[in-house]
């Protein structure tokens, strides 16, 4: 079976500077197909650019995130905090009807990509549920229909596998992990546009199949440029500040 390398993008959040840096890095390393795990918009200042740039990659699978839903008017922003609500309202006000239509048309996860892979934004049982611990991961693994479940939403890179069949470091590269051959595994590659693990660098992943080797990547980008765009747009200053802190 031919090798296939998937580029995994999640939570771009309208951050053009981070998105461009990630695509440049991924292009240098090489990839064959693109998977997009939702939240193209929200928080950042360049939603139309990120939507267009994402679609230009011709993803083989793409799903919506909670910010995509709210910005498109499919769901209320009442559960968002003040900054998230303000950014969603601003995003909805400046997007063209064509771009709003794109967001409305994004499918709900989970979506089965292949016999081995499925993608979701939060979890397979609830697209908006967060996976932050082993309990959440166990519920998600039980609900998954494929061996490898890729998810986003938390903006924090994470890999969950069973103790009986753990994920192990590759003997080729320090940043590659070999996935279990049979047992389920959940993978969050982190956020392109708004990392929240204390590392401000943009995050994404490369998944090589068959066999299953995940490469979690971090890429420095023009944070100050992204911050300036947020402030120029009149969005809450906290959305700019958190980028340099990785929060």
pLDDT band at 136 (very low <50, low <70, confident <90, very high): very high
Has residue 214 got a pLDDT over 70? yes
CATH class of 4-245: alpha beta
- Domain positions in the chain: 4-245
pLDDT band at 175 (very low <50, low <70, confident <90, very high): confident
So what's the pLDDT on residue 188? 97
For residues 53, 230, 244, 12, the Cα torsion angle rounded to the nearest 10 degrees is: -30
For the question of whether the overall pTM of this predicted structure is more than 0.85, the answer is yes
So what's the pLDDT on residue 173? 61
Mean pLDDT of 154-165: 90
**Model pLDDT for residues 1-48, shown as the tens digit of each residue:** 678 999 999 999 999 999 999 999 999 999 999 999 999 999 999 999
């Amino acid at each position: 079976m031919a090798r296939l390398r998937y580029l995994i993008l999640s939570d771009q959040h309208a951050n053009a500077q981070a998105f461009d840096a990630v695509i440049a890095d991924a292009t240098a390393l090489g990839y064959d197909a693109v998977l997009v795990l939702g939240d193209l918009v929200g928080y950042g200042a360049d939603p139309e650019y990120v939507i267009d740039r994402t679609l230009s990659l011709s993803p083989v699978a793409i799903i919506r995130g909670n910010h995509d839903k709210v910005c498109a008017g499919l769901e209320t922003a009442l559960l968002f905090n003040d900054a998230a609500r303000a950014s969603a309202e601003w995003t909805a006000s400046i997007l063209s009807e064509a771009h709003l239509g794109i967001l409305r048309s994004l499918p709900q996860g989970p979506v089965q990509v292949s016999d081995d892979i499925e993608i979701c934004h939060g979890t397979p049982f609830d697209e908006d549920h967060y996976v932050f611990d082993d309990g959440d991961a166990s519920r998600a693994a039980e609900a998954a229909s494929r061996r490898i479940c890729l998810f986003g939403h938390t903006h924090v890179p994470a890999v969950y596998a069973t103790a009986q069949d753990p994920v192990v470091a590759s003997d080729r590269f320090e940043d590659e992990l070999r996935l279990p051959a049979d047992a389920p595994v959940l993978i969050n590659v982190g956020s392109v546009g708004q990392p929240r693990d204390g590392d401000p660098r943009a995050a994404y992943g490369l998944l090589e199949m068959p066999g299953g080797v995940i490469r979690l990547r971090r890429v420095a980008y023009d944070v100050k440029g992204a911050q300036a765009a947020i402030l120029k747009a009149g969005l809450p200053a906290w959305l700019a500040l958190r980028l340099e802190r990785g929060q």
